[in-house]
Structure 1
C-alpha cells in the first residue's frame, strides 16, 4: 500500500463504528448495505470471504440528511438534503451472471457552486477499520479519455476481483458547465479507487440544475487471478457483462460506397497526396508533406485496402500498379531488407525526431511492411513475394539479436539500441513479438518451410515475460491476437489461445466506452473508439481501420474454435460502432471550427476527402497532426467487409456486424452474423442502380426472429432489418 488519504482514513474509522444500515440486499453471498453518516451516504459491499468494499455516493461537508427511502424489487432510491443542495441516489442490482451493483447520483446545487476537490468514491474498508489490513492489485485503470474503469483484485485477503465502470457519458452536463474533461478521472491506488470528479474552479455548477455526478456499474467475482491469462479472461468477461447493461448509442447507416467514390477521386487526383522521384509516383504520408521522403508503410497501407476493394468490386484502380511498381526502390541490397524510408531520398531526413535519421528503425516498422507484402504476395503478386522473401532473413537476424525483446529504435547496420524503452521501466515495443509471429506464419504459409513456424512459436512464447501489459500499438496488437489464434489452430496448444485473449484484452483496455458530449465532442461519435498507443491523447484513423480489419480476420478464423463469447461479443460490437463513427474522420463532415489551425505536418484541406489523423477530447481541436494519406484506405476497408455485392444486380446488402462468408446460389444468399444473440445489429438492402428494388424475402432461424423481420417497413431505395448476433439469415428475391 502506497499510503492513504485523510478522506479514506476518516471514512474507514466511521464505517468501523458500524451502526445499523438503512437498507440491505443479499445477492449470491454478497451483502450490500446502505449506511448514512453525517456527510456521506455509503454502499458497503461485504464479500463472501469477509472483505469489504465501500462506495461513496452522495457527499457533502456536513449535514447530510436522508429525507425519503423508496424501495422496489430492483433496489432503492434515496432522496437527500444537504447544505450544498439536494441529492438523489438510485441503487439497483441487475440480474445477470456475477453480482452487479449499479448506482446513480444526481445533484441539484442550492447555489452556483465550485468543487475544488472530490475524493475517490471506492475504498477497501475492513470491518475492524484497519484500512492497511488489505492489499490488492490494480490491473487496469483509465488513461486519458479511455473508458472510465478500474479492474482490480484483492491480494490480501484473496476475496476476488471487481470491475468498476463509470458511465462518463452521463456526466456530460458537469463537464460542459465546468469546462472540465473526462480524462484521467477514474483510477487511484489501493485501497482508494474509482471516480474523482475533476476540480471545478473556474466555472461553477449552476444553482437548481440537475447534474449526474456518478453513474457507476460494478461487477464482482469471487475469483482471484493467478496470472496474466486469468486477468485477461476475467477482464473480458467482466467488461462484457457491464457492456450488456450500459446505455449505448444507436448506430446510423452511412452511404460508404458514395464516400469511397469521393475519397478515391481525391486520392487519385489531388496533387497534395503524391510526390515523385526518379520517374515514380509515391504517396505522401500527409497531404502536402513534401519535406519527408516516401515511406514503404504508407504505400502498402493504401495498396492493401485498395486491393480489397478491387477484389470485391471487380473494378480496377489506376493507382494500384503505380504503388506496386515503386516498391522495389525501397529494398537495400547491402542490408538485405526493405527500408522504412526511400533509400534514394534518405538525405531529406531532418533528424528532428529519433526515427528521422537514416537507417534508424522503429521496431514495429520493420515488420508491418513485411506483413502487408505477405498479404499482397498471397494474392499472387511476384514483386511483393520477392521483396518479402529477400527481407525475411534480416528480420529473423534482428529478432535473434534482441532475443525477441525489441527496443523502440535501433540502428539497422550495427543493431545498436538508440532508444530501449517507451518510458523508464516500461520496456520496449512488447507487442512486436506478436507482430513478428504473424509475419513468420505468413511466410510459412507461402513457403511451407517449418523454420518459419518455429520462429513464430518462439516469438509467441516470449510474450509471457511481459505479464499482462503487452500493448504498444493497437493495430499490431490485434494482428498479433490473430496470429496467436492461428498458432492455436495449427498446434492445438491452449497456451496460444490464452495469448490471443491476452492481446484482445490489451486492446480493450485502450478503448473509450462512452460518448463525449461536451465541447466539440457532439460532432464526432467516439463510442468504442480505440487509441493507437498506450498514452496517445487522441484516436487515429489508420490504427483504427487496421484494428477493424484485424478484428474481421480474427473472427473469420474462430470457426471451429470454442471461442470466449465475451470476446466474440466485444469484437463484433467494436465493428458495429466503428462503421457508425469512422466516417467522421473525414473533415468534410465536421464543422470547420473544430479543425486545428496549426498543422504539424503538411496542410489541412477541410473540403478534401482524406481523413484526419487525430480526433481529440471535446475541449481540443482535431487534425493538428495532419490529414493522413495513409489513412485513405478507411472506406476501402469498410465497404468490402460490410457490404455484400451480388454479381449483375443493382443492390448491395449491408450488415453492420461481421458475418460469415456469404453463400450465393441463383437468387438466394445466406450467411451468419457473428457475435452473440443478446445484441442487435442492422441489415440494409441498398439500391445502387436505376431499376426498382426486387421483392425480397428474408428468413431467419426462429419464429420470434421471423416476426421481427416480417414487421419491417420497406423504403423506396433502402430496406432496413433488425437482426441480432449469431443468427442465420437467408435472403431470396424475385
Structure 2
C-alpha cells in the first residue's frame, strides 16, 4: 500500500457520499461532476472499468457553493463562490472524434491572498477499496519549463492510459502577478499526480481580477502500452491529437536574408570572433573567449551553413575561405583523425572541465565535425573530403572498440574510459549510436562503399530498449531520427521506423509547447522551443538550429512513407515557430535589461549580430553562458530552406513550412506544401521594390486570395499537404 496525503485520503469516500451534479457521455466514456466541499471534481469513467478524478477547482480551505450550472450541449459552465472569492469552471470536448476533455478554471479573490499550498489535480480511483491500492506507470512528465504534460497508464486496475496537458501559458498572468514560475508544476508521485499551481512566497495574488488557475486537456485511451516502442508511439499520437485543440500564438515574419547578411559581416569583421594561430584565423566558440583553444566543431558549425548560404546567393565570401584554410590543422597524424582541439594549442588546455585535457574526447563530439566534413564533401569540397577519408577509419575503430555503446569521455590515444555514464546507473550518451550511424550513412552516400551501410545498421541496434531515454542531446537525437528513417526506406524493416519515432518522442518531450508571457519571457516568442539536454534549464541556439534543419530534411525524405499522422502536424509546426522564434537569440532583438549581467564565457556585445547561446523562460536573464559564435550560422541555414529564388525573375518566395517539388516552367511555378491539411503555413511573395506582376495562386486547383499585401509583399495562407500553383 502506498502512502498518501490527507488531501487524497478521503477523496474516494467523499465522492461516494456526494451527488452527481452533471453527467455527460462522450465517445463511450462517461464524465461526472461532483462538489465535495473544498474541491470540484470531474470523474472520468472508462467504458469497461476504471475511474480517475480530476480536481477542476480547489477552495483554499473554504467550501464551494455552486451559484450557476449551465450546459448548452457544447460547453458546460459552473460558477462557484467561497468565503474567499469566485470561481468559474468551463468544460468542453474540443474534438468530436477523440475522447478529449478540456477544463479551464479562473478565480477572482475578494482580497489579496497568499497561496502556500495546492494539491495535485489527478487522482486514480478504484471501483471499491482505497485510492492507495491503485497502481500505474508514469511514462513521462514535465521537466523544468518544458510542456506541462504527464503521460501515464493505470495498471491496477488495468484500465487504460491518460495523456494530460496543461496549457501553461494560460497561467502567465498569475505568474506575472505573483512572480512565480510554472516550471516543474506537472508531475507528482503515484497516486497524487498532475498539476500543482505555483505557490506564492513573496507576492500575494491580487484581488478583484480574474486569473486562470488551470487550463487542462485530457485525452483518454483504453490501451496500456506494453513496451517502450508502444509508449513513444502513443505519446506522439496523443500529443498530435491534443495539439489540434490548443490555441496557437501568431507567427512573426523576419527578413532572414538581411539578418544573414548582417551576421556574415559581423562574423567576418568583429575581432572578438577570432583568434590567430600560426598566421591562420580561427573562430572562437564564444565572443571574446581567447582562453579556450580553437575547436574543429566551431569552425565547421559555421562553415557548412555558410556553404549552403553561398550556394543560395551565388556569391563567394572571404569568410568561407578563411574558415576552410584552418581546418586541415586539426588533423592529428599521430592518431590519424581530426581532434577536437587544435593540436598547436594543446598547451592551452587548462583542465578546468573534463574535456579540456589533451586527448580527451566527448563521444558525440568526434562524429559531429566528421558529419559536417562529409556534407561539405558531398557539395564538392575536396579538402573536406580528404580530411574526412583520412579520419573515418579511426571513428570506426572507436565504435567497434566500445561495441557501439560509447562512454561519455574517453582518451583518443589509448581509448581508456574517463567517464562511463552521464548519471550513475543510467549509461552513457544513448543517442551517439544514432549520430554515428548518421555519419556512416553520409559517408556511404559519398563513397558507395557498403562497409559504411553495415556500420550504420550495427550501430542503431544499440538504440533499442531506451524509449524516451534515447535523447541525450537534441541535435544528435534529431540526426538519429533522420538516419533511422533513411534505413527504413533502404530496408523496409519496420524496426527502424519504430526507433525513429522513439527519437522524435524524446525530442518532443523536451520542448516547450506553451507561450510564456511572464517575466522576461514576455519579451520574445518562445512557443515550441526545444531544450538541448534532458535537464538543461534553457533553450540553445545551435542545437535548435540543427534540430530545425534536420526536421526540414525529415519531412522531405518522409514523402511517400506512411509516417504517423501526428508527425505531419508536429514537425512542420515546429519548423514554422522556429522561423518565428530563432531571431530572438540575437541580443539586438531583446531589451538589454533581460541580458545577463554576468557571463560565463567571453562577453556580450548587444549590438552585434551574433546570437546568445541561452534563452530562459520566465524570470531568469538570458545570455548567462555567452554570445555563441558557432551559433552564428543559424541565419545561413534558414535562408536556403525557407526562401526560393525564381529563375529569371526578381522576386523571392518565402515559406514557413517545408515544401517539395519546386519547379518553374515559363510563367508558372508549382510546388507541394508538406505537413497536414489540418494546419496552415504562411507564404510570402517578396519583390525587391514594388509588386510588378499580377499573380494568380491556386491550392489544389482552387483559387485563393491573398490575405494582405504591402508595397512589396503578397501574403497567402496555404494548407499543408497541398499542391500549389502560381501563375503570372
1:359 deviates by: 1.0
CA distance in 1, matches of 2:505, 2:379: 31
Q: Is contact 2:706-2:715 (8 Å) kept?
A: no
Of 695, 705, 721 in structure 2, the residue corresponding to residue 726 of structure 1 is: 721
- The match for 1:287 is 287
- The match for 1:183 is 183
CA distance in 2, matches of 1:590, 1:534: 26
* Aligned partner of residue 387 in structure 2, secondary structure: helix
- The match for 1:498 is 498
Change beyond 3 A, Cα 1:711–1:436: closer
- The match for 2:130 is 130
1:622-654 Cα deviation digits (max 9, x unpaired) = 011110110011111111111111133221100
* Aligned partner of residue 681 in structure 2, secondary structure: strand
- The match for 1:576 is 576
1:541 deviates by: 0.4
Matches within 5 A, 1:268-307: 268-307=268-307
* Aligned partner of residue 102 in structure 2, secondary structure: strand
Q: Is contact 2:681-2:717 (8 Å) kept?
A: yes
Q: Is contact 1:97-1:241 (8 Å) kept?
A: no
CA distance in 2, matches of 1:155, 1:468: 20
CA distance in 2, matches of 1:263, 1:57: 49
1:62 deviates by: 2.9
CA distance in 2, matches of 1:530, 1:593: 24
Change beyond 3 A, Cα 1:247–1:412: same
Q: Is contact 2:276-2:282 (8 Å) kept?
A: yes
Q: Is contact 2:645-2:653 (8 Å) kept?
A: yes
- The match for 1:443 is 443
Of 703, 706, 715 in structure 1, the residue corresponding to residue 710 of structure 2 is: 715
- The match for 1:694 is 693
What are structure 2's unaligned runs of at least 5 residues? none
- The match for 1:26 is 25
1:88-117 Cα deviation digits (max 9, x unpaired) = 111111224320010001111121100001
* Aligned partner of residue 403 in structure 2, secondary structure: coil
1:691 deviates by: 5.8
CA distance in 1, matches of 2:491, 2:428: 29
Q: Is contact 1:283-1:298 (8 Å) kept?
A: yes
Q: Is contact 1:284-1:298 (8 Å) kept?
A: yes
1:2 deviates by: 5.7
* Aligned partner of residue 223 in structure 1, secondary structure: coil
- The match for 1:139 is 139
1:702 deviates by: 4.6
Q: Is contact 1:287-1:602 (8 Å) kept?
A: yes
- The match for 1:460 is 460
CA distance in 2, matches of 1:485, 1:28: 34
1:619 deviates by: 0.5
Q: Is contact 2:529-2:539 (8 Å) kept?
A: yes
Q: Is contact 1:284-1:294 (8 Å) kept?
A: yes
Q: Mean Cα displacement is larger for which, 55-64 or 517-526?
A: 55-64
Q: Is contact 1:650-1:691 (8 Å) kept?
A: no
CA distance in 1, matches of 2:317, 2:377: 18
Matches within 5 A, 1:545-584: 545-584=545-584
- The match for 1:337 is 337
Q: CA RMSD in A?
A: 1.3
- The match for 1:379 is 379
* Aligned partner of residue 503 in structure 1, secondary structure: helix
Matches within 5 A, 1:64-103: 64-103=64-103
1:620 deviates by: 0.8
Q: Mean Cα displacement is larger for which, 534-543 or 6-15?
A: 6-15
- The answer on 1:255 being equivalent to 2:250 is no
CA distance in 2, matches of 1:365, 1:10: 54
- The match for 1:641 is 641
What are structure 1's unaligned runs of at least 5 residues? none
Q: Is contact 2:361-2:410 (8 Å) kept?
A: yes
1:156 deviates by: 2.4
1:661 deviates by: 3.4
Q: Is contact 1:44-1:55 (8 Å) kept?
A: yes
- The answer on 1:617 being equivalent to 2:617 is yes
1:10 deviates by: 2.2
1:469 deviates by: 1.5
1:18 deviates by: 4.1
Q: Is contact 1:651-1:693 (8 Å) kept?
A: no
- The match for 2:651 is 651
1:405 deviates by: 1.5
1:178-213 Cα deviation digits (max 9, x unpaired) = 101111011112222111112112100011111100
Change beyond 3 A, Cα 1:465–1:398: farther
Q: Is contact 1:98-1:221 (8 Å) kept?
A: no
- The match for 2:193 is 193
Matches within 5 A, 1:403-482: 403-482=403-482
- Taking structure 1 as the reference length, the TM-score comes to 0.97
CA distance in 2, matches of 1:429, 1:728: 41
CA distance in 1, matches of 2:467, 2:226: 11
- The answer on 1:598 being equivalent to 2:593 is no
1:342-393 Cα deviation digits (max 9, x unpaired) = 1110111111111111111111101111111110111111211121122122
- The match for 1:10 is 10
Q: Is contact 2:699-2:718 (8 Å) kept?
A: no
Q: Is contact 2:228-2:465 (8 Å) kept?
A: no
Equivalent residues, number: 727
CA distance in 1, matches of 2:430, 2:205: 44
Q: Mean Cα displacement is larger for which, 86-95 or 537-546?
A: 86-95
Q: Is contact 2:134-2:156 (8 Å) kept?
A: yes
Q: Is contact 1:96-1:241 (8 Å) kept?
A: no
- The match for 2:160 is 160
1:258-299 Cα deviation digits (max 9, x unpaired) = 111111111111111111111211111111110011100001
CA distance in 2, matches of 1:629, 1:305: 13
CA distance in 1, matches of 2:558, 2:2: 43
- The match for 2:173 is 173
CA distance in 2, matches of 1:448, 1:713: 49
- The match for 2:666 is 666
1:667 deviates by: 2.2
CA distance in 2, matches of 1:18, 1:670: 65
CA distance in 1, matches of 2:393, 2:29: 57
* Aligned partner of residue 581 in structure 1, secondary structure: helix
Q: Mean Cα displacement is larger for which, 483-492 or 562-571?
A: 562-571
Q: Is contact 1:673-1:726 (8 Å) kept?
A: yes
CA distance in 2, matches of 1:235, 1:272: 45
* Aligned partner of residue 204 in structure 1, secondary structure: coil
* Aligned partner of residue 468 in structure 2, secondary structure: coil
